[in-house]
Amino acid sequence: MIPWGAASDRPPVIHPRHRSDAPGSLIVALFVQKFGGSSVADAESIKRVAKRIVDTRRAGHDVVVAVSAMGDTTDELLDLAGQVAPIPAPRELDMLLSSGERISMALLAMAIHSMGFEARSFTGSQAGMITDATHGAARIVDVTPVRLREALDEGAIVIVAGFQGFNRDTRDITTLGRGGSDTTAVALAAALKADVCEIYSDVDGIFTADPRVVPRAQKLTHVSSEEMLELAANGAKVLYIRAVEYARRHGVLIHARSTFSSGEGTWVLGPGMSLPAGTEGAEMEEPIVAGVATDLSQAKITVIGVPDVPGKAAEIFKIVAKSGANVDMIVQNVSAAATGRTDISFTLPKEDAALALRALAAEQGEVGFESLVHDDQIGKLSVVGAGMRTHSGVSATLFEALSVSGINIEMISTSEIRISVVVSGDELAEAARVVHTAYGLDGDAEAVVHAGTGR
Amino acid sequence: MIPWGAASDRPPVIHPRHRSDAPGSLIVALFVQKFGGSSVADAESIKRVAKRIVDTRRAGHDVVVAVSAMGDTTDELLDLAGQVAPIPAPRELDMLLSSGERISMALLAMAIHSMGFEARSFTGSQAGMITDATHGAARIVDVTPVRLREALDEGAIVIVAGFQGFNRDTRDITTLGRGGSDTTAVALAAALKADVCEIYSDVDGIFTADPRVVPRAQKLTHVSSEEMLELAANGAKVLYIRAVEYARRHGVLIHARSTFSSGEGTWVLGPGMSLPAGTEGAEMEEPIVAGVATDLSQAKITVIGVPDVPGKAAEIFKIVAKSGANVDMIVQNVSAAATGRTDISFTLPKEDAALALRALAAEQGEVGFESLVHDDQIGKLSVVGAGMRTHSGVSATLFEALSVSGINIEMISTSEIRISVVVSGDELAEAARVVHTAYGLDGDAEAVVHAGTGR
């Protein structure tokens, strides 16, 4: 299991440095590697990950690792918290949850140590992960990895607790919220000017579609960060939007790959970045469409019989926004001249629907609409590709493919590099397959889906 | 469950301070309370402990709590460590183990918070628990509880992680080793000039003997710290020697009591300390004997046929010491004039016996003894009492009681306030009962033994 094929004959490229004591290779790279909870779920997995890290070190590179809590630790701790306090104090909840990564990082450091390599673990505060004081969803405001640099200079492998930080004013421990460990890894890579930030998970990389939905989906050699953002925002699970945004802003090269195979994953390229020299497919021409994302997590609300007068839409969405619901797509049908009324549909996360419906119903008289229709059996399909900017007819291909297979489109929305349609939830999988084929994304073989996929 | 009966009518005494905002009582005391792992084993226990702490706060007092890891957490973490590394790196082991108290203290703070009281948890380093760099058995070198003072001044209940500290030079987390949380509590009490350090456990206090061995054992109202040290050193389990020593050195008043009852426990008085005013039994005359300790953890080794020439004993115990074994009692029999040889017996912890035997056997030719006899079925009984200094005939009572019941004494050793004898292990319990009776220590009723006792 040597990282990216043979690291020695395929050196990473962005900030190569010389180091005399690097065996087998003159160019030393700094790798940041992130391992999620499922990769360190038990002692065996931790030893596997340790071997993986040691292999990178053996190839002569510096390694900084960001690690999540073991398996379901975080959920178990949350459950305990719920048992002692209905609404746990946020400061204490962060103190509690931050212990999960301390366990995994200490075990990982021990495992590496027992393989004969110096390894040191650091908490978020020891690593200089400075955040604001928002417990449970802290934003990183600064990274001062002084101790990490010292450890690296002393030849140690550095293990950092993902997901956690430290606020300078309150001197309290904070956590970064959902996808926090990915963000930790990218932030460390940026602060340490790492050559690459490897995000390990139980899938091989970014696919042209979810292999569990589209068996002929292919792994992408690379994807632009703007495409990745659209894919993630529209249902792709492999990377968290926040981490990709951070990487894009700070020029961090992300390599999304699998803990369970040594093959290459998918490179996420920010503006002006190119693939490491010699990476297969580096010369390939950009495809028009990068991938097809599917999302079953949304519901649709239609406000029927809205008086077709200026300002009504604004009125409706002010109400929805006040309810705390997060609106995604919006479509207003053409007004039926006879009635002078129109229908307005929008999508939002299933869990927000109840809130929005209650808020709207309360204002029905005020707004003057006739009724509300709620549909939580919808599916959203999105086609993403930077090529859309320069190629016409991309949407036509989509609509053609769906109509041929008799799939009805309920809503449409587009961005500069994305077309999304809402279809019936039970037709989403078939829609994804036919669209995937229509854009010529099908692979020759069926993609291998790992046991752990989707965890 | 109001601490020591009714705190309002029985104020603690050592450093009373005035505080206007203390409801129901003008004198505000600072309580340090320590709760062990079995007291916070699960959500229910944590809530019970939280209520206990809140009751002290309600009585108008300041409270600082030192808490251990939940139930078997520490053992489970050690087990995990063993699975990933045969010999875990000490620095990482401390990082790992220190997470246990973070979990319990955060949960405890949440529970208190949800009862409507401000509570804040602090790690060893946040609490200013400065130690040397000896991982796994760090010594406290300084306590700088700046943040704790701030929190107290802001009216918060302070929860501190027991067992852990921080080294200034390495900036690494350390742990204090066995009994660490007791030491944390006493050290905090000393640094904060607390009025009392309450060590909660699942027994009612210090007894004149182990109630599981001597049913008529009585709870002591108070015991001097020097007596407590002898009792702890000779088998009594309730308090750790290290904590008692620290308390004695720094003038901390310890109150050993039960988490499961609101009754008073046992006061451990250092030099010059007196019982809080109004404490029952404060006027009682000092008994000659404080208690009877029993210990089944030792083994006896007899070196037979040692040439009765000067320096042989020294030779033998130099060998034993080099083996790392910890010798307790030593007895040299009178030399048999005929042979010019003598026997030397000594006791040591069962787990050290193998080492010592191997070391001695290796040097048999050198020392010139005839053989080695190993007996791990011995029991050690110790009678402890400061009154021995001034009263004669204390040992006579002991020997008399044992001979009357036909219990053979194998070894004898004494200190200024202690007499210890070694008997056959299977006779230890009976020996303890007859001696307990002989010194008039029997109570009228049998002591209640809690379910949790001995955990």
**Bridge-partner residues for A122, per DSSP?**
A160
Closest CA to A355 of A327, A376, A324, A377: A324
pLDDT of residue B308: 84
Between the CA of residue A101 and those of A65, A182, B192, what are the distances in Å?
Answer: 12, 13, 32
* One-letter identity of residue B336: A
Quote the percentage of chain B above a pLDDT of 70: 89
Integer-rounded Cα Rg, in Å, for chain B is 24
Q: Do B96 and A110 touch (CB under 8 A)?
A: yes
Q: Mean pLDDT lowest for which of A20-29, A198-207, A232-241, B281-290?
A: A20-29
pLDDT score of B21 more than 60: no
pLDDT of residue B25: 44
Going by the DSSP 8-state scheme, the letter that residue B287 receives in this structure is P
Integer-rounded Cα Rg, in Å, for chain A is 24
pLDDT of residue A335: 66
The C-alpha atoms of residue B38 and residue B258 are separated, in whole angstroms, by: 11
Long-range contacts of A152-156 (CB under 8 A, 24+ apart): A152/A30, A152/A62, A152/A64, A152/A192, A154/A118, A155/A21, A155/A118, A156/A118, A156/A119, A156/A120
pLDDT of residue A262: 87
As for the ipTM of the complex, it is 0.81
Q: Do B120 and A91 touch (CB under 8 A)?
A: yes
Burial-class residue B363 by CB neighbours within 10 Å (0-12, 13-18, 19+): middle
pLDDT of residue B236: 86
- The arithmetic mean of pLDDT across residues B24-47, rounded, is 88
**Mean pLDDT value across chain B:** 88
The string of pLDDT tens digits covering residues B66-110 is: 999 999 999 999 999 999 999 999 999 999 999 999 999 999 999
Q: Please tell me which of the candidates B85, B98, B113 has its beta carbon nearest to residue A85.
A: B113
pTM, two decimals, is 0.83
Q: Please tell me which of the candidates A81, A119, A120 has its beta carbon nearest to residue B107.
A: A81
pLDDT of residue A272: 86
Give the residue from B51, B54, B76, B107 with the most A CB atoms within 10 Å of its CB, the best one to mutate: B107
* One-letter identity of residue B131: T
Closest CA to A140 of A33, A67, A247: A247
**Mean pLDDT value across chain A:** 88
The string of pLDDT tens digits covering residues A330-354 is: 887 766 667 788 889 999 999 999 9
- The arithmetic mean of pLDDT across residues A31-52, rounded, is 96
Distance from CA of B110 to the nearest CA of A (A): 5
Going by the DSSP 8-state scheme, the letter that residue B396 receives in this structure is H
- The arithmetic mean of pLDDT across residues A50-57, rounded, is 96
From chain A, which residues contact B within 8 Å (Cβ)?
Answer: 43, 46-47, 50, 77, 80-81, 83-89, 91-93, 95-96, 98-100, 102-103, 105-111, 113-114, 119-121, 126, 147, 171
The string of pLDDT tens digits covering residues B185-238 is: 999 999 999 999 999 998 899 999 999 999 999 999 999 999 999 999 898 888
- The arithmetic mean of pLDDT across residues A198-225, rounded, is 94
CB-CB contact of A93 with B110 (8 Å): yes
The C-alpha atoms of residue A191 and residue B416 are separated, in whole angstroms, by: 64
Between the CA of residue A49 and those of A56, A259, B196, what are the distances in Å?
Answer: 11, 7, 49
The C-alpha atoms of residue A12 and residue A195 are separated, in whole angstroms, by: 7
CB-CB contact of B295 with B231 (8 Å): no
Burial-class residue B361 by CB neighbours within 10 Å (0-12, 13-18, 19+): exposed
The string of pLDDT tens digits covering residues A260-317 is: 888 999 999 998 888 877 676 655 566 789 999 999 999 999 999 999 888 888 899 9
Q: Please tell me which of the candidates B83, B114, B171 has its beta carbon nearest to residue A43.
A: B83
Between the CA of residue A443 and those of A203, A215, A255, A446, A451, what are the distances in Å?
Answer: 17, 9, 21, 7, 21
Q: State the pairing for strand pair B17-18/B27-28.
A: antiparallel
pLDDT of residue B283: 55
Of the pLDDT bands very low, low, confident and very high (cuts 50, 70, 90), residue B7 is very low
Q: Please tell me which of the candidates B81, B107, B109 has its beta carbon nearest to residue A110.
A: B81
From chain B, which residues contact A within 8 Å (Cβ)?
Answer: 43, 46-47, 50, 77, 80-81, 83-89, 91-93, 95-96, 98-100, 102-103, 105-111, 113-114, 119-121, 126, 147, 171
Q: Please tell me which of the candidates A80, A107, A120 has its beta carbon nearest to residue B81.
A: A107
- The arithmetic mean of pLDDT across residues A94-109, rounded, is 97
The C-alpha atoms of residue A168 and residue B441 are separated, in whole angstroms, by: 58
